[in-house]
Amino acid sequence: DGATEAALGAATRQLDSKDWRERSAGLRALGDLKTVLHTLPESQVALLLDSITNRLSDGNSKVNVLALETVESILPSLGNAVGVGLNTLIPALSANAASTNEKIRSKAVDAMDALVASVDGALLVQNLSHVISHGSARSKAVMIERLEAVVRN
């Protein structure tokens, strides 16, 4: 509906702010919308995922951690609709899983687990295989475990 789209637009605009507090507020606002995200058209889901994925490489670790938590919280609502953004989301999560920051690494693993639990495995195999082949050596073990879980189920 119009209110949801307006709230989504406001939140995604906040994600582009120069102020880390604004970016954090935008991520929290997106998390608050998780119950209605499943109603979004594919084009809106793509924009949403692009905006959040950009925050997964945020220079501010607090924003980065919050982005990972937001991804984890919205994935169950979005389900297979995230298929439109997996080609950017999975590499970003993989990069976070290779982080030297323990909190970021841990949250990235949690987000990957939520992704595997929420999205049909057939949508994940290609992108997981790609990051295993071409991603960071530091995240390969995590990605292989997730691919193994996908293939097993």
What is the dihedral sign for C-alpha 42, 96, 94, 77? negative
Q: How far apart are CA 8 and CA 48, in angstroms?
A: 8
What is the dihedral sign for C-alpha 18, 136, 69, 47? positive
CATH number at residue 139: 1.25.10.10
- Cβ atoms of 31 and 70 within 8 Å: the answer is yes
Work out how many domains the chain is built from and give that number: 1
- pLDDT, one tens digit per residue, over 93-150 is 999 999 999 999 999 999 999 999 999 999 999 999 999 999 899 999 999 999 999 9
> How crowded is residue 140: how many other Cβ atoms within 10 Å of its Cβ?
16
Residue 4 pLDDT: 86
Which domain covers residue 77, as residue numbers? 2-152
CA atoms within a 13 Å half-sphere pointing along the CA-CB vector of 67: 31
Asked if pLDDT for residue 1 goes beyond 90, the answer is no
Tokens representing 77 are 């609502």
DSSP symbol at 153: -
This prediction has a pTM of 0.94
